[in-house]
Chains A and B, each alone.
Chain A
Amino acid sequence: MAKRKKTRAPRRKVCKLCLDRVAHVDYKDERRLMRAITDRGKIVPRRISGNCTRHQAQITRAVKRARVLALIPFQADSYR
């Protein structure tokens, strides 16, 4: 049986951030950023998150800044 890819872009879905009309993603906005990274600390790709280009770019920028400020980790499994 052909294996279906689990990760399929939810194309019909629009960008959640666009729905909420988020103007700017803040690197200090820890809650939103934590939702945008995986359990390993990686940024969730656009094809999974469904974000539009603009918001995905804002998320990426914010996550990278937050990482520098140690608000979120670079790697989430190796600080033991």
Chain B
Amino acid sequence: MREYETVFILHPQVDDAGIEKEIEAIQQTIAAGQGEVTGVHKWGRRKLAYPIRKVNEGFYTLIRFKGEPPLLQELDRRFKLNESVLRHLTVHAVGDPTPPEPRPRDRRERGGRGGGRPPRGDFRPEPRRAPSEPRGAETQPPAERSEAPAPAREQSEPPQEKSAES
């Protein structure tokens, strides 16, 4: 029996009760297939990096379990048939019993990058009226440049201009 982990994304229109039901159903499928669930981690609603089936967010859940290959096939089959599941991915679990929960990308500060790498523009999805956390931080427009490199460029410009003038 090897340990696996599956991440699946549920459609945002599924209500909390529905989410619970789906998770329950999966756990039962695992149990019925002589498997053993070792962990369930709900990541909650998250903005997607790109639209899937026309929606921009989804409910992420991770389940760790042990099982045999036939169980994996059955799980996969069920996920594919389930219309509420937007995406799923099953993978060998590697170490780390508590997998890192990826932080929602919405309000993360983009720090500067180390030297030697091409400067990275700021990728921000358009601010949406997401149901989660209506913070005032939505004043950050989807600018083409992140805040960090801009001041640096401004500082370097004046000396050049002065030398050109003289």
List A residues at the B interface (Cβ < 8 Å).
10, 23-24, 26-31, 35, 38-39, 41, 44, 48-49, 65, 67-77, 79-80
Contacts and interface: CB of A to CB of B under 8 A. Distances in A.
B89 A69 contact: yes
B102 A28 contact: yes
Given A48-B117, A79-B125, A28 B101 contact: yes
Given A48-B116, A70-B9, A79-B51, 5 more contacts: A26-B99, A39-B123, A70-B87, A74-B49, A76-B121
A70 B100 contact: no
Contact of B123 (A24, A31, A65, A76): A76
Contacts, number: 72
B16 interface: no
Interface residues of B, number: 33
A26 B94 contact: yes
A68 B88 CA distance: 9
A9 B49 CA distance: 30
B9 A26 contact: no
B3 to A, nearest CB: 14
B105 A30 contact: yes
A72 B123 CA distance: 10
Contacts of B113: 35
A65 B49 contact: no
Interface in B94-136: 94-96, 99-103, 105, 113, 116-123, 125-126
A28 B117 CA distance: 23
Interface in B1-60: 7, 9, 48-52, 58, 60
